[in-house]
């Protein structure tokens, strides 16, 4: 396979997503299928994925490119999100090849047990060496997209990544990770600083490779309260957006819109809308009006249909989409789900969601 270079990309023909992200007027409401596991509902995706283990898929630019494009072949979406995972960063900090494996979900067989285990992590990650496979996947995919829609890169935020590194996988309570907040605040801070440094280089590297927007997932914000979020998450989210923007400028790269999604952190929406992100993602547990009141006109909002609404009949899905679009209005809004899809969801119901967005957004004035 020839090595494509991150230059001479085909001209972008559909910039609806990028314009909506920047709060500009768009001809119709924009729709982005960019939540985790979007492809899992498709037979072709499951087939491609089954051919190798999860992280082997992430390391193959050709496989990532194919998995990124499969949902876009089925559905008329306005943006693609690169196939990868937030867990590639903890993996790069650990012992590379064997640190993570997957059964029902990602597993870290030797999670951090106490502050002394931080010594086991690499003190510096060279992103072009340790995460260069993601950059190559982005470059290849951007070329293959041929300008039909923009490509979004992403990362996990420090707190969310640290929960996986301490819990060793998913957890309902995050009690082991939260124990660190109370018992080892200094070590927690060192860990977040290390993660933030890697994340900043990683995001800038994604833009250099061809990413046209960036999303930061703080998926485990919900187990922090308002004060803990203010102390342990927000400063790092702000550090990431501010440092990425500065570094893009210093490196002569284009500025790209940045999206922050802090699941269940409604109490922080006002702060998040003042954190140098152009877009704030919403889960489904907040009313659109309330989210607008808290964020004003400062940012574009993205979301927020309950993914489980896709288990409803197609008629009901259409009705729910109509209500959601009326509540958010067209300007400064990107239609999406409030979180990822589940593998047992019917692709036809995803199609009904997307058709409903097109039907009702095209009718509306901005």
Using CB under 6 A as the binding rule, whether residue 219 contacts ligand 1CP is answered as yes
Residue 210: Cβ within 10 Å count: 24
Query: Measured from the CB atom, is 36 or 176 closer to ligand 1CP?
Result: 36
Token pair of 243 as six digits: 């440092």
301: left (phi over 0), alpha (psi -120 to 50) or beta: beta
Among 17, 83, 192, 229, binds ligand 1CP (CB under 6 A): 83
Using alpha carbons, select from 158, 144, 180, 6 the residue that is nearest to residue 63.
144
CA distance linking residue 289 with residue 77, whole number of Å: 25
Q: φ, ψ for residue 153 (rounded to 5)?
A: -100, 170
Contact call for residue 85 and ligand 1CP (CB under 6 A): yes
Q: Rounded to an integer, what distance in angstroms lies between the CA atom of residue 56 and that of residue 64?
A: 10
Of 217, 236, 328, 360, the one binding ligand 1CP by CB under 6 A:
217
Residue nearest ligand 1CP (C-beta atom): 170
Query: Nearer to ligand 1CP by C-beta: 91 or 300?
Result: 91
| C-beta separation of 90 from 108 below 8 A | yes
Q: Tell me how far CA of residue 135 lies from CA of 8, 59, 112, 229, 247, in angstroms.
A: 16, 10, 28, 31, 17
CB nearer to ligand 1CP: pick between 7 and 173: 173
Q: Give the nearest distance from C-beta 277 to ligand 1CP in angstroms.
A: 16
CA 366, CA 362: separation in Å to the nearest integer?
A: 10
Q: Is 340 in the site for ligand 1CP (CB under 6 A)?
A: yes
Map residues 21-40 to x or -, x wherever contact with ligand 1CP holds by CB under 6 A: ---------------xxxxx
Alpha-carbon span 215 to 81, nearest angstrom: 9
The number of helices, as runs of H, and strands, as runs of E, in the chain is 16, 10
Sole window of 11-19, 81-89, 137-145, 225-233 interacting with ligand 1CP (rule: CB under 6 A):
81-89
Task: Return the residues of window 128-157 that contact ligand 1CP according to CB under 6 A.
Answer: 154
CA distance 248 to 329: 32
Binding residue for ligand 1CP (CB under 6 A) from 81, 134, 145, 199? 81
Q: Does position 49 bind ligand 1CP by CB under 6 A?
A: yes
Instruction: Give, in order, the Cα–Cα distances in Å from 29 to each of 26, 193, 304, 326.
Output: 7, 38, 14, 11
Count residues binding ligand 1CP (CB under 6 A): 20
Stretch that binds ligand 1CP, among 85-93, 173-181, 248-256, 291-299 (CB under 6 A): 85-93
Q: What is the DSSP letter of 109?
A: S
Residue 145: CB atoms within 10 A of its CB come to 24
The nearest distance, CB 272 to ligand 1CP, in angstroms, is 16
Residue nearer to ligand 1CP on the CB measure, 104 or 252: 104
User: Least distance to ligand 1CP from the beta carbon of 366, Å?
Assistant: 29
Instruction: Please report the sign of the dihedral spanned by the C-alpha atoms of residue 237, residue 85, residue 83, residue 128.
Output: positive
Tell whether residue 335 is a contact of ligand 1CP (CB under 6 A).
Answer: no
Q: Shortest distance, CB of residue 296 to ligand 1CP, whole angstroms?
A: 26
- Interaction of residue 106 with ligand 1CP, rule CB under 6 A: yes
> Nearer to ligand 1CP by C-beta: 80 or 330?
80
Q: Which residues bind ligand 1CP (CB under 6 A)?
A: 36-40, 49, 54, 81, 83-87, 105-106, 154, 170, 217, 219, 340
């Amino acid at each position: 396979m020839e090595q494509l270079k991150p230059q001479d990309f085909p001209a972008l023909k559909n910039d609806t997503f990028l314009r909506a992200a920047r709060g500009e007027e768009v001809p119709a409401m924009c729709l982005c299928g960019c939540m985790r596991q979007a492809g899992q509902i498709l037979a072709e995706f499951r087939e491609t994925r089954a051919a190798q283990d999860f992280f082997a898929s992430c390391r193959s630019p050709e496989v990532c490119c194919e998995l990124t494009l499969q949902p876009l072949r089925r559905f008329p979406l306005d943006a693609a999100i690169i196939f990868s995972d937030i867990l590639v960063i903890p993996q790069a900090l650990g012992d590379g090849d064997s640190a993570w494996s997957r059964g029902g979900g990602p597993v870290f067989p030797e999670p951090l047990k106490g502050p002394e285990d931080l010594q086991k992590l690499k003190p510096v990650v060279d992103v072009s060496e340790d995460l260069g496979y993601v950059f190559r996947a982005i470059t290849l995919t951007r070329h293959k997209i041929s300008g039909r829609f923009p490509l979004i890169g992403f990362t996990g935020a420090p707190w969310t990544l640290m929960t996986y590194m301490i819990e060793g996988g998913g957890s309902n309570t995050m009690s082991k990770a939260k124990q660190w907040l109370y018992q080892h605040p200094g070590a927690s801070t060192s860990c977040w600083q290390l993660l933030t440094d890697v994340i900043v280089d990683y995001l800038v590297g994604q833009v250099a490779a061809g990413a046209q927007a960036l999303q930061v997932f703080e998926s485990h914000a919900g187990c922090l309260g308002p004060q803990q979020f203010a102390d342990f998450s927000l400063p790092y989210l702000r550090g990431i957006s501010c440092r990425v923007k500065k570094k893009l400028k210093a490196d002569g790269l284009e500025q790209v819109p940045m999206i922050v999604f802090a699941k269940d952190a409604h109490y922080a929406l006002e702060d998040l809308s003042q954190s140098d992100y152009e877009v704030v993602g919403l889960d489904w547990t907040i009313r659109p009006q309330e989210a607008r009141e808290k964020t004003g006109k400062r940012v574009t909002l993205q979301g927020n249909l309950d993914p489980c609404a896709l288990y409803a009949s197609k008629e009901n899905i259409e009705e729910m989409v109509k209500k959601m679009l009326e509540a958010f209005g067209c300007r400064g809004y990107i239609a999406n789900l409030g979180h990822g899809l589940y593998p047992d969801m019917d692709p036809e119901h995803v199609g009904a969601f997307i058709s409903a967005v097109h039907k009702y957004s095209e009718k509306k004035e901005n």
